[in-house]
Amino acid sequence: MSHIITFLREVGCVAERLDAGAIEKIAAELESLRARNGRLFLIGVGGSAGNCSHAVNDFRKLCGIEAYAPIDNVSELTARANDEGWETIFSGWLEVSRLNSADAIFVMSVGGGDVVRNVSVNIVRAIDLAKVRGARVLGIVGKPDGYTAQMGDAVVVVPTVNPDRVTPLSEAFQAVIWHGLVSHPILQLRRTKW
């Protein structure tokens, strides 16, 4: 069997196993966020960072949600990494933005952060700040045992159907899920062009 056929079958398996209730919970959280005029901060690194940048556009344009991705400000991001360390790039950004209880952070990550393994500790620090400030923590992750899945208020865990492809399937389904959210009848205010 070819790799592409196998990969597409895995995509189908993930889609069938996704927790629709968890996705609906995020939709409800986002509806509530918009109603209280809260801001949405999308946080991720690597390929997930690119997904965050794209998702900001969709949440703002289609849903009327004030949304930001700290990774879009590369000058501040790299200055913080250089001067203060990689671990606080998001929490430092969120402090200046005065993250508060009306707001939410939305983590897109494969692992979701893990202090013990020293992976995506910047995400962990952002979640810790959100909890202290009373902001909601949303997420789409690929690991049920990561910090986001354990500490989040509404988190979708992309099911593992092949341990060798956790990263590509997790990052691909971040896009599938956020597009499901921005086209959700309770969230979408503006139609897409096509």
- Give the model confidence (pLDDT) of 104-152 as tens digits: 999 999 999 999 999 999 999 999 999 999 999 999 999 999 999 999 9
Q: Is pLDDT above 90 for 159?
A: yes
CATH of the domain at 15: 3.40.50.10490
**Residue 56 domain-assigned?**
yes
> What confidence tier does 194 reach under pLDDT thresholds 50, 70, 90?
very high
At 45-77, the pLDDT tens digits run: 999 999 999 999 999 999 999 999 999 999 999
Structure confidence by residue, pLDDT tens digits, 14-36: 999 999 999 999 999 999 999 99
pLDDT in tens, 177-192: 999 999 999 999 999 9
Which residue carries 């997930």 as its tokens?
48
Whole-number Å distance between alpha carbons of 77 and 91: 11
| Helical ranges in the chain per DSSP H | 3-17, 20-35, 47-63, 74-83, 89-96, 121-133, 147-151, 166-182
Residue 64 domain boundaries:
3-182
Distance CA 21, CA 18 (A): 9
Give a yes or no: residue 144 inside a domain.
yes
Q: Which residue has the tokens 């790799």?
A: 3
Reduced to 3 states, what is the DSSP secondary structure of residue 119? strand
**194 within some domain:** no
**Residue 1, pLDDT score:** 74
Closest CA to 146 of 48, 53, 68: 48
State the Cα–Cα distance between residues 34 and 188, nearest whole angstrom.
11
Q: Tell me, what's the pLDDT at 10?
A: 98
**DSSP letter (8 states) at residue 86:** G
The verdict on residue 28 lying in a domain is yes
Does the residue 193 lie in any domain? no
Backbone phi and psi for residue 90, each to the nearest 5 degrees, phi listed first: -85, -45
CA separation for the pair 144, 157 (Å, rounded):
6
Q: Are 142 and 157 in contact (CB under 8 A)?
A: yes
> pLDDT tens digits, residue range 70-99?
999 999 999 999 999 999 999 999 999 999
**Residue 42 pairs with which residues in a beta bridge?**
106
Classify residue 187: in a domain, yes or no. Answer: no
If one counts the domains in the chain, the total is 1
